[in-house]
Structure 1
Amino acid sequence: MADTQDTVIEREAMDYDVVIVGGGPAGLSAAIRLKQQAEKAGKDISVAVLEKGSEIGAHILSGAVFDPSGLASLFPNWKEMGAPLDTPVTEDKFIYLGPQGAMDISALPKPAYMSNHGCYIGSLGNLCRWLAQQAEGLGVEIYPGMACSEVLYDDEGAVAGVVAGVFGIARDGHHKPDYQPGLELRAKYTFFAEGVRGSLSQLVIRKFDLDAKSDVQKYGIGLKELWKVKPEKFKPGFVQHTLGWPLNDKTGGGSFLYHFGDHYVSIGFVVHLNYENPYLSPFDEFQRFKQHPAIRDVLEGGERVAYGARAINEGGYQSVPRLVFPGGVLIGCSAGFVNVPRIKGSHNAMKTAIMAADAAFKALQSLDAPRVLEGYQKAYEHSDVAKELKLVRNVKPILTRFGTNLGTLISGIEMTLTHLLGGFSIFTGTGSLHHTKSDAHSLKPAADFKPIAYPKPDGVISFDKLSSVFVSATNHEEDQPVHLKLKDPHIPIDINLAKYAEPAQRYCPAGVYEIVGLETREPRLQINAQNCVHCKTCDIKDPTNNIVWVCPEGGGGPNYPNM
C-alpha cells in the first residue's frame, strides 16, 4: 500500500528471504554466497537482486585494476570457470607530471601491498555480467531495469523491503496510460548495495543514525574513457598512475592508464571533491590532461569508444558508518570500503558482501532470527577489510592537510611505517586523523578566484561534454519527473550563482546544469536531467546541499560497454 497523488495505490507484493538493492560486485557476491551456503546446507532460501540499470553492468564504472582476493573467496577456481579477467598486470609505473615533462617517482617509499603484482586489468562491468550468470545458475532471481524508489518498514520500524518498478509517471506528476505502481518486494533482510551515495542507502543511514560515530564521508569524482589504440602503442598489462599537472598542489587527484584486452586502454582522471575553487571543472581538467605529451602519444591515432563518470568513496576507515540496522545491512560502496592509495574497492565490496551473506544465512536458520545482523558488524570489525583500511587511514587526511606534493611523500612514509609497526601510526598511534569538513563545504567564494580558461576541445584527443554523454549511451524517458530535486528553487540563483558562480555548471561531468537567461537579466538554473550519467557529484558537491539525487525510472541512465 502506498499513497501517491493523494490516492491509495494497491501494489502486488512478493516475499523473499533476502532482497538485494543493486547488481554490482557487492550485491551479486552477496546473492551468490547466500545460495552457495544454502546449497551446502541442503536448504532453500529465496534471493532477489534489483538493478536500476537496463542490464547488469550497464551502470558499472571502474578503472579497473582488480584485486582478485574477493572473487577467489566466492570461486577459488575463477580462472578455470572463465571469469573475464585475462590481462595480468605486467608493469607498474607512478609518474609526476609537469606542464610538459614527466618524472618517474615509482621508487618513492611505499609498502609492498601498494604493488599491483597479482592483480588483473579488465572491465568491472563485464565481470558483473559474468557474476550475474553464476548467480542465476544458482537460482538467484535478477531483475534489471527495476529502480527502487522507496524503503518499506514494518510496524516496529524495521526495514521490511523496498518498492521497485514504478513506471509511467509524467513530469508534471500525472499517471500516463502505461503507469505501473510498482511492486513491494518484502524480505526478512534487505541488503543495500547501491554503490557510492546510494539514494536509499542515504535514507537508512539518516533514519537509523548509522554515521553518528563515524567521520563525514569524503568523495572524489572519477572520469573515464575507453580507447582502442594503435597496435604499436599497446602494452598489455601496463599500469600507469600520475600525480601533478594539470591540478595544482591544493587540488587532490591524479590519473590512471591501463592496457588490457583487445588493444584497449582505460584512461581516467580522479579529482578529490574537497577542492576549493568553484571555477574548476573536473571534466575539463581531464580533457586538458590528455593533451600532455606523455599521454597524447599513447592515444594519438586511436579511437575513443566510451565515456563515463562516477563518484568514489574516499573517507576510508574512519568514515565507514555502522553497517547493520533492524531488517537490513549496508554492503560495498554503500558503506565505503575503498582503499584510496591503492585505488581499489571492488575486492572489499565483495568481501563485505560475503560477511553479510554469512550472517544472514546463519540468522535465517534460527526460529528466533535476530532483526539486527550483529554478526556481520563483528565480522567486519575483525576482518582483513578493516585491517587493510586501518593501515591507510591517515593518507587522505594527510593529503588534505599538506597538499599533493608534500602529502604524497609524507603519506608514503606513514604507510610504510604503519605497515612495519603493525598498524601503529607515527601521527596518531592507534587512532586516526579525522575528516572534519564535508566536500560541499570546501568550496570558497568565486570572488577569491579567477575563472579558468580551458582550451577548446580538438575533437581528436579532447572532447566536449555533450559528445561525451553521447558515447556513454545515456538515455532517460524525457516525460518523467526530474530526478535531480532542488530543496529550494531560489538557492541556485540567489546564493550559488551570486556567491559561487553556480559551480554545478562545472562540477557536473555531463552538462546537466546550465544557467540560462543571463542576457535578459533573468537567470535561472536549467536542469537537463536526460543527460545525467548517475555520477552523484551534484548530491555531494553542491555548496548549499540543495540538490538531492533520487532514482529515475528503471533502465534509464548510461549503458556502459566494457567499462
Structure 2
Amino acid sequence: MSTRESMPYDVVIVGAGPAGLSAAIRFKQVAAEQGADLSVCVLEKGSEVGAHILSGAVIDPRSLDELLPNWREDGCPLAEVPVTENHHWVLTATGKRTLPEFLTPPFMHNKGTYTGSLGNLCRWLAGKAEELGVEIFPGFAAAEILFDEQGSVKGVATGDMGVARDGTHKPDYTPGLELHAKYTFFAEGVRGHLTKEVIRTFDLAKDAQPQVYGLGIKELWDIDPALHSPGRVIHTQGWPLGDDANGGSWLYHQANGQVSLGFVTWLNYTNPYLSPFQEMQKWKTHPEIAAILKGGKRVSYGARAINDGGLQSIPKLVFPGGALIGCSAGFLNVPRLKGTHGAMKSGMMAAEAAVAAILSQREHDELAAYPAAFETSWLHKELSVVRNVVPLVKKFGDFLGSGLAGVTMWLEHFGLKMPFTMKHHPDHESLWRKDLVKPPVYPKPDGVLTFDRLSSVFLSNTNHEEDQPVHLTLKDPNVPVEYDLPLYDEPAQRYCPAGVYEIVGQETGDPKFVINAQNCVHCKTCDIKDPTQNINWVVPEGGGGPNYPNM
C-alpha cells in the first residue's frame, strides 16, 4: 500500500507537447458537448510548458484548424509567418543544385503552412487548455507507472524531489505524488522512458517494425535584416554527409529577423567516429549557408531525436488503461519534415475515444475506438503514402534512393498503392568496428560561424540539480571501457550533442567512462544509438534539463 498522496482524474496526460495539450483541449471540448464535467491534468517535466520543446518548425495547420478553428484571429503566435517560398537544395562541397518544385508531389510544397516556434505554440495551447479547466503541472516529472490489481495502468507517480546522488534524502525532500486516472495518455515525445516500459510490458511493438530515428540539432540566429525574408523555407540534402550516412537540413526565415537552422543525421550511420554535432557545424561552412549567416549571431541551441520509422513502426496504440499519442507512438511524416499536425491529431482522436468510454461507465480497458479512428483518418492515409521513403533512401543511398522514393510518392499520390511495405533495422546495430573506417575530418570551431559543444549547451540554458541521482544509467558499468572502447572507440563521446560522455585516463593506461549528466539536453540519442543498449535514460528531477525560450 502506497503512503504517497494521491489525486484522482478522469484522464492524466504525461507531457505538455502538441499531442498532450491537443488531447487535453479536445477532451474538455467533447465532454462539454456531452454536458459532462470531466477532469484532466497534464504533467510536464520541463520547468515550464515549452521548455523542452524543439522543432524546426514548419507546421501544417490542418489539426489546429480542426481543434481551434479561430486560432489565426485568437492571438496564436504561429499565425505571424506564413510560408511564402519553398526551396530544396542538393548540396555538393562547394555548390548546389536546386530541385524543381514540380518534381515533388504537391503535399511537399508547404502551401498553406506556417513557420515559427513550436515551443511558443505549446505555450499558447496551454493557455487555451487552462481556459477550459485543464490542470497543468510544469516541473513535475512522471517517474513511475502505476498498475491496478488486474495489471491495467491506473496512473503515474511523479518523481521524488530532494534525493541526493547517494540516494539519501536532503532537507528539502518531498515524496512524489500519485495521479490516478481512468485513462493515462503517454505524450512524452520520442523515446520516452515510461513509454518504453509500457511498450515492453504490453508487448505493443510485436507486430511493428523497429522504430528508427534521426538526431536533429538546431540553432537560432539573428541575421542581417538585408538577408532576411520572412516565410522563406529551405531544405537541403547531400553534403557534408557521405555514403555511410543519411539526413538533411533546414533553414527557415521566421519572425523578428531570426532564422531557424538545423541538421538531421539519421542514426543508422555506420562510422563510429561520425559526430552529428560536428556534421552540423561543418554544414554551416557551405558557401550558400554561410552567406545567409554572415554578420549574424547565434542566440540559441538545442537537440532532439525524431522518429523516422513511419507507419510501419507505429506500435499498438492502446493498452488496458491508456494510450500512446504523438511522438511516443511516432507519427512523423519524414519527407515533409512535419510531425506536429500528426501528433495533435493523434491526441484528439485518443481524447474523443476516452470521453466516449468514460461516459459509457468504462475505465482501464482498451480504447479500441482510438486505433479504429486512426485507421480511417487522413493521418493514416498521409503516412501510408510515404511509408517506403526512409527505407528506400537507406537501402539505395541518397541519390538513387531519393529518386526511387520520389517515384513511389507520386504513384501513391495518384492512388497507385505500392504492393509492399519495406522493413527497418534498429539503429544501434549499424555501427562498424573502428578499424574498418576512416575518421571524418572536422574543422576547428571559429567561434563566429562554428562552435564547440560546451558553448552550445550553455545557450540551451540546461540546468540540473547537481546533487541528484544520475539519470543516465548503465546496465553494466564495465561495458563502455571493456567493450565499446576497443571496438568503437566509445562512440558516445561523439554521438552525444551535449558533451555528456567522455573517456578520461587513456594517456596513463587507466581509461574511465565519465558521465557529465548536468550537460544533458534530453535528446535521447544515447538511449537509441548505444551499440549494446547499455545506456538507459531515465527521467531526472522535475524542472531540470534545457530551458528553450523560442525553439
Same fold (TM over 0.5): yes
| 1:134-213 equivalences in 2 (<5 Å) | 134-213=128-207
1:81-120 equivalent positions in 2, closer than 5 A? 81-85=74-78, 86-107=80-101, 109-120=103-114
Shift of 1:410: 1.1
Tell whether 2:225 aligns with 1:231. yes
Report deviation, 1:415.
0.5
Structure 2: stretches of 5+ with no match in the other structure: none
Query: Map of 1:215-254 to 2, 5 A cutoff?
Result: 215-254=209-248
| Whole-Å separation in 2 of the counterparts to 1:367 and 1:224 | 46
Distance 1:335 1:417 in 2: 27
Letter aligned with residue 164 of structure 1: T
Q: Is the 8 A contact 1:21 1:49 kept in 2?
A: yes
Matching residue's letter, 1:263: G
- Is 2:453 aligned against 1:460? no
The answer to whether the 8 Å contact 2:101/2:109 transfers is no
Match of 1:66 in 2: 59
Kindly state the Cα deviation for residue 461 of structure 1 after the two structures are TM-superposed: 0.6
Query: CA offsets, 1:165-216, max 9 Å, x none?
Result: 4201111111111111110000000000000001100100000000000000
| Residue 507 (structure 2) pairs with residue 513 (structure 1) | no
The code of the aligned residue for 1:354 comes to M
* Residue identity opposite 2:524 in structure 1: K
Shift of 1:419: 1.2
Cα distance in 2 for residues equivalent to 1:423 and 1:190: 39
Please list every run of at least 4 consecutive aligned residues from structure 1 whose deviation after the TM superposition is greater than 3 angstroms: none
2:183–2:363 contact (8 Å) kept in structure 1? no
Check conservation: 1:158, 1:326, Cα contact below 8 A: yes
Q: What letter corresponds to residue 162 of structure 1 in structure 2?
A: V
Given candidates 496, 512, 522, the residue that maps to 1:524 is 512
Distance 1:351-1:293 versus aligned 2 partners, 3 A rule: same
**d(CA) in 1 for partners of 2:63 and 2:216?**
22
Letter of the 1:562 partner, please give it: N
1:50 pairs with 2:43 = yes
Counterpart contact for 1:165–1:180, Cα < 8 Å: no
Whether the aligned pair in 2 keeps the contact of 1:512 and 1:532 (CA below 8 Å) is yes
Paired residue secondary structure (1:518): coil
Q: Structure 1 residue 103: deviation in Å?
A: 1.1
Question: Of 107, 123, 127, which residue of structure 2 is paired with 1:129?
Answer: 123
TM-score (norm 1): 0.97
Partner of residue 348, structure 1: 342
1:383 and 1:145 map into 2 onto residues whose CA distance is 34
Aligned to 2:374: 380
AA at the equivalent of 2:500: V
Structure 2 CA distance for aligned equivalents of residues 348 and 275 of structure 1 = 27
Q: Contact 2:144/2:159 (CA < 8 Å) preserved in 1?
A: no
User: Aligned partners of 2:348, 2:186: CA distance in 1, in Å?
Assistant: 13
Residues 1:368 and 1:336: Cα distance change in structure 2 (over 3 Å): closer
TM-score by length of 2: 0.99
Q: Does 1:40 align with 2:29?
A: no
Structure-2 residue corresponding to 1:7: none
Assess, with a 3 A threshold, how the Cα gap between structure 1 residues 519 and 108 changes in structure 2: closer, same or farther. Answer: farther
1:471 to 445, 452, 459: 459
CA distance 1:368–1:120, shift in 2 (3 Å): closer
Moved more, 407-416 or 469-478: 407-416
Deviations, residues 409-444 of structure 1 (Å, cap 9, x unaligned):
111111111211x2511xxx1x30111x20000111
**Cα deviations across residues 109-131 of structure 1 (Å, max 9, x unaligned)?**
32111110100000000000000
Is 1:553 equivalent to 2:541 in the alignment?
Answer: yes
SS in 2 for 1:117: coil
1:269 aligns with 2:263: yes
Contact 1:363–1:370 under 8 Å retained in 2 = no
Q: Greater CA deviation, 90-99 or 108-117? A: 108-117
Q: Distance in 2 between matches of 1:523 and 1:25?
A: 43
Would you say 1:75 and 2:75 are equivalent positions?
no
Cα distance in 1 between the residues matched to 2:25 and 2:159: 23
* 2:361 paired residue number: 367
Picking from 268, 278, 281, the partner of 2:272 is 278
Counterpart Cα distance in 1 of 2:438 and 2:364:
57
| 1:309 alignment counterpart | 303
Q: Aligned residue for 2:439?
A: 451
CA drift of 1:368 comes to 4.0
**One-letter code of the match for 2:475?**
K
Moved more, 133-142 or 410-419: 410-419
Structure 2 Cα separation of the partners of residues 274 and 520 of structure 1: 33
Contact 1:70 1:350 in 2 (8 A): yes
Superposition RMSD in Å: 0.9
State whether residues 51 and 143 of structure 1, in contact with CA within 8 Å, keep that contact through their aligned partners in structure 2.
yes
The CA deviation at 1:370 is 6.3
Q: Return the alpha-carbon distance in structure 2 between the equivalents of residues 423 and 50 of structure 1.
A: 43
In structure 2, C-alpha distance between the alignment counterparts of 1:294 and 1:266, rounded to whole Å: 15
Give the conservation status (yes or no) of the 8 Å contact 1:95–1:106. Answer: no
Is the CA contact (8 Å cut-off) linking 2:388 and 2:405 kept in structure 1? yes
Q: Give the SS at the match of 1:355.
A: helix
For each residue in 1:125-158, what CA deviation from the matched residue of structure 2 results, as whole angstroms up to 9, or x when unmatched?
0000000000001000000000011000000000
Q: In the aligned structure 1, how far is the partner of 2:364 from the partner of 2:485?
A: 50
Query: Are 2:321 and 1:332 aligned?
Result: no
Q: Distance in 1 between matches of 2:322 and 2:527?
A: 24
Q: Give the C-alpha shift of residue 452 in structure 1.
A: 2.2
2:369 maps to a residue whose letter is G
1:5 — aligned with what?
A: none
- Asked if 2 retains the 8 angstrom alpha-carbon contact of 1:251 and 1:272, the reply is yes
CA distance in 2, matches of 1:432, 1:410: 14
Give 1:117's aligned amino acid. Answer: K
User: 3-state DSSP class of the match of 2:77?
Assistant: coil
Deviation for aligned residue 1:494: 0.8
Amino acid at match of 1:433: M
Matched to 1:74, the amino acid is L
Q: Tell me whether 1:405 sits opposite 2:399 in the alignment.
A: yes
Structure 2: which amino acid aligns with 1:176?
K
Equivalence for 2:531: 543
**2-side partners of 1:108 and 1:486: how far apart?**
50
Listed one character per residue, the Cα deviations across residues 329-382 of structure 1 (whole Å, up to 9, x for unaligned) are 000000000001000000000001000000000011012446110000111111
Cα deviation, 1:80-112, whole Å, max 9, x if unaligned, reads: 111111101100000011111111113473211
| 1:54 partner amino acid | S
CA distance, structure 2, for counterparts of residue 165 and residue 507 of structure 1: 28
Q: Which runs of 5+ in 1 are unaligned?
A: 3-9
* Structure 1 residue matching 2:397: 3-state secondary structure: helix
Q: How far is 1:490 from its partner? A: 0.5
Would the aligned equivalents of 1:249 and 1:405 in 2 still touch at CA under 8 Å? no
Distance in 2, matches of 1:15 and 1:253, equals 44
